[in-house]
Amino acid sequence: EPEVTQTPSHQVTQMGQEVILRCVPISNHLYFYWYRQILGQKVEFLVSFYNNEISEKSEIFDDQFSVERPDGSNFTLKIRSTKLEDSAMYFCASSEGRVGYYEQYFGPGTRLTVT
Amino acid sequence: DQQVKQNSPSLSVQEGRISILNCDYTNSMFDYFLWYKKYPAEGPTFLISISSIKDKNEDGRFTVFLNKSAKHLSLHIVPSQPGDSAVYFCAASAGSGGYQKVTFGIGTKLQVIP
């Protein structure tokens, strides 16, 4: 069964450093998403991406964040200058983009620890 | 602003009994509702969904009920199994075309006791 994959599973970085989290969405899906979950809190929407551009972003997704689909398979989230409060699980998801089929399928997540 | 609320942080159920997880929402624009299951150190796994034009959807041991007038939905698991022990997230979405933004509740931790 097709699945969303994410690398790395755990990333430790120092405050102020740039990190890139990588995702490979399900191959025939058209919409891609990033979410984060701070420990003990709910899963929060960051951004959605369609047709090589951002379709929607949340207030959390400020200028420190960017997303890119550098090739036909990868989807990346870049945090330019990490802060302590960026420590969280980051989940990538994808969906088909067909009307009536809105289920998003999630990857296993990347645990980002900012020290 | 909690648009999707799961008021029970945890629930314990004996194996073989029914588990009922509840969810309330406030945004009347939501037209599609989903339940996800999450094990520790894994991503959320899609479980079952329901469109706002229906009031019930069943898939094996899992049934989701939607009460639009009360803005309430519930997930029933019958019979509950120890492998069902996980955090269950209620989610609601609204949008147009092939895209819907999903808003998650905070989750309910289900423990099924053997």
Tokens encoding A70: 């550098």
Place of tokens 């509840």: B22
Residue in chain B closest to A36 (alpha carbons) equals B43
Nearest of A57, A65, A56 to residue A88 by alpha carbon: A65
Q: Which of A41, A48, A103 shows the shortest C-beta gap to B34?
A: A103
Residue B86 has a pLDDT of 96
* pLDDT band for position B94 (cuts 50, 70, 90): confident
User: Would you report the helix, strand and coil content of chain B in percent, each value rounded to 5?
Assistant: 5, 60, 40
A56 contacts in chain B (CB < 8 Å)? 99, 101
How much is the pLDDT for B1?
61
- Tokens at B71, concatenated: 């803005």
pLDDT digits 0-9 by tens, B25-44: 999 999 999 999 999 888 99
B41 and A104 within 8 Å at the Cβ level: the answer is: no
Please give the share of chain A, as a percent, with pLDDT higher than 90. 82
Which residue type does A68 have?
A: E
3-state secondary structure of B83: helix
Q: Which of B45, B98, B106 minimises the CB distance to A31?
A: B98
Average pLDDT score over chain A = 93
* pLDDT reported for residue B27: 92
- In chain B, which residues have their Cβ closer than 8 Å to the Cβ of A31? 98-99
Check whether the bond before A8 is cis (ω within 30° of 0): yes
The amino acid sitting at B37 is K
Do residue A56 and residue B98 have CB atoms under 8 angstroms apart?
Answer: no
Residue of B nearest to A88 (CA): B41
